[in-house]
Amino acid sequence: MPESSLVRSKALFIRRWGEMAASWGISRTMAEIHALMFASTVPLCTDDVMEQLQISRGNASMNLRELTRWNLIERLHVRGDRREYFRAEADVWQMFETISRERRRREIEPILETIQRCDEMIDADLKQLQGQERDEALEYRNRLRAISEFLDMMNSFFNFVVSGSDGGLPDAAKLLAKFSSGA
């Protein structure tokens, strides 16, 4: 019997979500598990994930744990069943906010700290530098500060958007869309 359009659609979504996430530097399997959970209307256990994605228990467990750490899925207990179940965040705006916060914590904050350290290193030796080396150090420091300022503004914008009202992110996105369309 041929697969239903629902099964084929979910398989396509899971595959593409995994491909997209891989290009962002996120494990393809982790993204596929997230997509499977997102597409499912009922909580899934580790065995369900293993069966549907044809992956090992260790791979499933490791990625479920990581998705839980990212707050993209939550653990659930089903009465009368000893297995652990998981459910994905279904609100796409909340999911985007969660992914953005986690990426900021893992990617942006460390580079901001590095830029700050690099800037401090230049400042510490700047008085001792002369000529071409001093000019190069000053230009480099200006570039570091420009990146830092840009990332700080993006962080401030992100904080503003997600800390607004309950509809902060969707409302901000609608405003930006309206602004960009010239309406």
Residue type, 98: T
Dump pLDDT digits (tens) for 18-69.
Answer: 999 877 778 999 999 999 999 999 999 999 999 999 999 999 999 999 999 9
Reported in sequence order, the residue ranges of 30-146 that DSSP labels E, i.e. its strands, are: 44-45, 73-77, 84-88
State percent of the chain over pLDDT 90. Answer: 61
Given a cut of 60, whether residue 183 has pLDDT beyond it is no
Considering just the CA atoms, what is the radius of gyration of the chain in Å?
23
Structure tokens at 178: 């309206």
| Domain covering 5-88 in this structure, CATH number | 1.10.10.10
| 133-163 per-position pLDDT tens digit | 999 999 999 999 999 999 988 888 777 766 6
Closest to 167 (Cα-Cα) out of 175, 179, 155, 156: 175
At 133 the pLDDT is 95
Q: How far apart are CA 60 and CA 21, in angstroms?
A: 17
Residue 176 scores a pLDDT above 80: no
Q: Are 50 and 56 in contact (CB under 8 A)?
A: yes
Which helix (H) or strand (E) element contains residue 67? helix 57-69
CA quadruple 59, 62, 63, 64: dihedral sign: positive
Sorted by where each begins, the domain ranges of the chain are 5-88, 92-180
